[in-house]
Amino acid sequence: MPGHRVTLGVDRPMRLDSGAELGPFDVAYQTYGALNADRSNAVLICHALTGDHYVLDQHPVTGKPGWWEMLVGPGKPVDTDRYFVICSNVIGGCMGSTGPKETDPATGKPYGLGFPVITIGDMVRAQKLLVEHLGIDQLFCVIGGSMGGMQVLQWAVAYPESVFAAVPIATAARHSAQNIAFHEVGRQAIMADPDWAGGNYLLEGTRPHRGLAVARMAAHITYLSEPALHRKFGRNLQNRQTVTYGFDADFQVESYLRHQGITFVERFDANSYLYITRAMDYFDLAADYGGGTLSNAFRKDGKGTPVRFCLASFSSDWLFPTSESRAIVHALNAVAANVSFVEIRTDKGHDSFLLDEPEFHQVIRGFLDGCAEHRGLTRPSRP
Amino acid sequence: MSPLDDKQASASIASGTGIRSDLKLIAEMVEPGSRVLDVGCGDGALLAFLSRQKGVDGRGIELSMDGVHQCVAQGLSVIQGDAETDLKDYPPGAFDYVILSQTLQAMREPRTVLETMTRIGRRAIVSVPNFGYWRIRVQLLLTGRMPVTEKLGYQWWETPNIHFCTIKDFVVLAEEMGIRIERCMIVNRTGRVTGHAHSGLANLLGEQGVFLLRRD
């Protein structure tokens, strides 16, 4: 597999929010571009729930292009000719970082449900160790969408001195009841699959593919929007002239969802899905850092956060609606933080941050260029 | 969108500095290196000018998405929001200046907006079109219809300007609210009329007033 892997927490295990300890543990990561002499041009990309660190590489399992080639690369808004871009697979994940499918050194067997429950804070703690390992004191920027955006917020609140600029996209400072509910549907689908085997499927030689596929299908609907689904599929039938009066995939949208489910199980571990969705559910910055008030989370020693923020939301995103971003903006205003906020008008739903949205890309480019100027980063010379 | 007519806005682009003449008047009142919030910052012309020429730490709020895109894409710190809902979160004295250019008359509650501005800013700079301007008075008197002028180019049924005032009205409100007018500039198309807000000439000959305000 392309990319790097480092073992962290060797001298001292990492203490998790649950009180459990993890270590030594592996973090798989990928880098693009070059770190400058004073180590001030590093951009950390935080991936979403089912993402990974293959931002620009062809995916080793699916063969698909990198998941953020729209935004990242030479000459792109996150310009790899200018910035040193890092992305790591979250702990609890299944693409090389330590997670439930990896072997527990204590037992010699896969962790399964023996893996400790992790939080967004724990994921970021592991990323902080990685960044330190790379010899970087302060990241120029931390950027990510959805769960990646939660990590961005966590970075800014937990390590404000280590972040110059933060770009949380299509995200929230806490997971809403509706979103926890959707996650619970997904988890129940997995656990209802007999092949899940109480989480021991790797030992039993089974795979809960049906449960995981259903979880993915349900979740996938939440990433889109009603207009986008209608535009793409309408009530069109799949390779047939009339309905079949049965439960075959008559409609194109059914066929599409089934395809989404089937391809997902090839690349994702069911237990990882349980752990990572749980981490998102537990996320609540105001409760964890602000005594219930979000603005307090952005205040330290009586002063507002020094981090420069740029938030973006998408008008048709009903999973992380604009109101969630606005609540963060209001909290940042309350500490007079330096913040930009844009709602992008689009009908493509939550997934918009991964898609071709030129206005969104312009905004990110402008914000990063402005920050780079303040940070004294030189412009790359173009031929 | 500015509540003023677009034609007027583009016609009055000031030469040299690249910003509208009314924005230039506002910029003159801002001390270099200060913290500024521009409410209704449009495409960011004033903010960009102030950052470049006066080294201010500038922020903006803008209602229109296009405006916000243009601002953020040029590196300005601007949030998409509404003066009536998105100002109240800022702590008292968060800014040296809070600027509201030509939009007070479009607010649902101008008084509350003024109150908030003078709370979150140590000073506020407000520019308002003068409904007591002689041309407007003459139009109403002679035609008996709602005045439509070059500067206020909307018919009554389409105008976003729902709370017109005269310069005199503005001065009275400021007094009632305990807001001191530290400086003012009354201008019309031929230039500066007077620097005295209380002057009768101001209310008759001034087409707009720019006020530097401070809560006592």
B72, B77, B91 ranked by CB distance to A338: nearest? B77
> Does residue B195 surpass a pLDDT of 90?
no
Position A382 confidence tier, pLDDT thresholds 50, 70, 90:
low
- Kindly report the number of other CB atoms within 10 A of residue A291's CB atom: 9
Residue B87 pLDDT exceeds 60: yes
Is A220 designated active site?
Answer: no
- Residue B86: list chain A partners with CB under 8 A: 329-330, 333
Pairwise CA distance, residues B188 & B21, whole Å: 11
Is B1 domain-assigned?
no
**Structural contact between residues A374 and A165, judged by C-beta atoms closer than 8 angstroms:** no
Closest CA to A156 of A176, A170, A173: A173
pLDDT above 50 for B8: no
Mean pLDDT over residues A2-28, rounded?
96
Same domain, A102 and A124: yes
Q: How far apart are CA B22 and CA B38, in angstroms?
A: 14
The yes-or-no answer on residue A146 being catalytic is yes
| Calpha distance A166→A152 (Å, rounded) | 6
Q: How far apart are CA A225 and CA A229, in angstroms?
A: 6
Going from the C-alpha of B132 to that of each of A258, A264, A282, B129, B151, the distances in angstroms are 68, 68, 59, 9, 13
Segments in A138-248 forming alpha helices (H): 147-158, 177-192, 201-204, 209-223, 226-233
State the pLDDT confidence band at B17, using cuts at 50, 70 and 90: low
Q: Mark whether A77 and A168 lie in a shared domain.
A: yes
Parent domain of B127: 6-215
- Gap between the Cα atoms of B126 and B40, Å rounded: 12
What pLDDT does B3 receive?
54
Measured distance CA(A138)–CA(A40) in Å, rounded: 7
**CATH code where residue A126 lies:** 3.40.50.1820
Closest CB to A333 among B65, B75, B89: B89
Tokens (6 digits) for B173: 């409100």
Same structural domain, A236 and A361: no
* Residues making up chain B, counted from first to last: 216
Q: Is the residue at A282 inside a domain? A: no
In this prediction, residue B9 has a pLDDT band, given cuts at 50, 70 and 90, of: very low
- Cα–Cα distance, B106 to B100 (Å, whole number): 11
pLDDT tens-digit profile of A289-301?
999 999 999 998 8
Per the domain annotation, does A38 fall within a domain? yes
What's the pLDDT tens digit per position in A203-250?
999 999 999 999 999 999 999 999 999 999 999 999 999 999 999 999
A345 to chain B, any CB pair closer than 8 A? The answer is yes
CATH number of the domain within which A221 lies: 1.10.1740.110
Complex ipTM value: 0.86
Same domain for A109 and A204, yes or no, is: no
Is residue B203 situated within a structural domain?
A: yes
Bridge-partner residues for B188, per DSSP? B191
- CB–CB of A366 and B65 under 8 A? no
> Domain end: A257, A277, A297, which one?
A277
Question: Rounded distance, CA B201 to CA B205, Å?
Answer: 6
My answer on whether A69 and A120 are in the same domain is: yes
Count of domains observed in chain A: 2
Residue A146: which residues within 8 A CB-CB, separation 6 or more? A48, A49, A169, A170, A171, A319, A320, A350, A353
For residues A190 and A153, state if they share a domain.
Answer: no
Range of the domain at A331: 4-176+287-375
Would you call A350 a catalytic residue per the annotation?
yes
Whether residue B178 is contained in a domain is answered as yes
C-alpha to C-alpha distance for B166 and B37, rounded to whole angstroms: 25
End-to-end alpha-carbon separation of chain B, Å?
A: 33
User: Looking at the domain assignment, is residue A383 inside a domain?
Assistant: no
Beta bridge partners of A313: A343
Q: Is the same domain home to A217 and A349?
A: no
Put simply, the answer to whether A366 touches B75 (Cβ < 8 Å) is: yes
Confidence at residue A383, expressed as pLDDT on a 0 to 100 scale: 57
Determine, yes or no, domain membership for A268: yes
d(CA A218, CA A205): 26
The per-residue pLDDT for A107 is 93
Residue A86 counted as domain residue: yes
Q: Do B65 and A345 touch (CB under 8 A)?
A: yes
Using CA atoms, how far apart are residues A115 and A101, in angstroms rounded to an integer? Answer: 9
The answer to whether residue A341 neighbours chain B at the CB level (below 8 Å) is yes
d(CA A106, CA A57): 34
**pTM over 0.95, yes/no:** no
In chain B, how many domains are there? 1
Same domain, A114 and A140: yes
Q: Please indicate, yes or no, whether residues A162 and A292 belong to a single structural domain of this protein.
A: yes
Same domain, A243 and A300: no
Residues A201-222 as b/e (b if ≥16 CB within 10 A, e otherwise) read bbeeeebbbbbbbbbbbbbbbb
The verdict on A192 and A79 lying in the same domain is: no
At B190, the pLDDT band (50, 70, 90 cuts) reads confident
- CATH number, domain of B88, equals 3.40.50.150
Asked if residue A362 is part of any domain, the answer here is yes
Tokens 């400058």 correspond to A36
Last residue of one domain, picked from the residues A226, A253, A277: A277
> CB of B96 within 8 Å of any CB in chain A?
no
* Strand B95-101 to B121-129 pairing: parallel
Q: Please tell me whether residues A220 and A335 are part of one structural domain.
A: no
Which of A277, A312, A334 delimits the end of a domain?
A277
A154 within 8 A of A162, measured Cβ to Cβ? no
